[in-house]
């Protein structure tokens, strides 16, 4: 899965996810601007939480260990 993470949160335990696509997607790495970090992760590396009455996507605690090679 191609995951766009807000770069400003990449140092957090659970970085915030801005967008996700299938690994085979043709979405370019700059599709969401320069402030995003592109990662390749399995689906289970993403979790949801409801905060302030809204759904948010973020990476799980050990997401670093789950990174996949860029296809």
Partner 1 sequence: MKYVQPYGIDDVNAPYINGDPSIGRMGSIPPAAAFEHPMRELVAVIENSQMPADEGDLEQVAKGVRSQRMNYVEDTGSVNALSVALDPPLTAYSIGLPLRVKVHATNTGAATIDAGAGSRAIKKPTGAAPAAGDLPAGGLVELVYDGTNFQMINFGGAGGGPGDAFYINIPYTVDSSVTRNLVTANFSPAITEIHAGSIIMVKMANTNNGPTNINVNGLGNKPIYALGAAALLPNDIVAGDVCLLCYDGTRWWTTPNTIILENVTINVANTTDLNSLFAALGRKRITPTAVVTIKLASGVYTPFITYHLNADRIVVEGTMLAALPVTTDFARTGNSSGARASDSANNIAMLRSRYGTEIQFNNAAVPIAGEMIIGHVGPGRITIKNVLVTGQNVYASAGAFFGAIGPAHGCNMLCDGVAVWGSGWNAFAVSQGNLDCIRCFASGNHGVGFMSYGGSRMSLYYSGSFGNAQDGCQAGVGAMLYLYNDTICQMNAWTGVFAWQGSTFLLKTTNTVTGNALFDLQSSDISAGSVNAGNVYSTASPAPNVVGNFSSLIRQF
Question: Parallel, antiparallel, or unpaired for β 46-51 and 54-59?
Answer: antiparallel
With respect to partner 1, which residue has the nearer C-beta, 31 or 68?
Answer: 31
Give min distance, CB of 28 to partner 1, in A. 9
Task: Output DSSP code: residue 30.
Answer: T
With respect to partner 1, which residue has the nearer C-beta, 54 or 71?
Answer: 54
Question: Which spans of this chain sit near partner 1 (rule: CB under 8 A)?
Answer: 4, 18-22, 25-27, 31-33, 48, 51-55, 57
Give min distance, CB of 71 to partner 1, in A. 16
Assess contact for 24 and 43: CB atoms under 8 A: no
**DSSP string over 10-24:** TTSSSPBEEEEE-TT
């Amino acid at each position: 899965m191609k995951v766009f993470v807000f770069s400003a949160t990449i140092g957090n335990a659970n970085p915030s996810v801005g967008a996700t696509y299938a690994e085979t997607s043709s979405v370019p790495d700059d599709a969401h601007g320069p402030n995003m970090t592109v990662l390749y992760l399995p689906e289970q590396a993403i979790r949801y939480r409801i905060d302030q009455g809204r759904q948010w996507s973020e990476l799980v605690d050990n997401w670093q260990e789950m990174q996949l090679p860029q296809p």
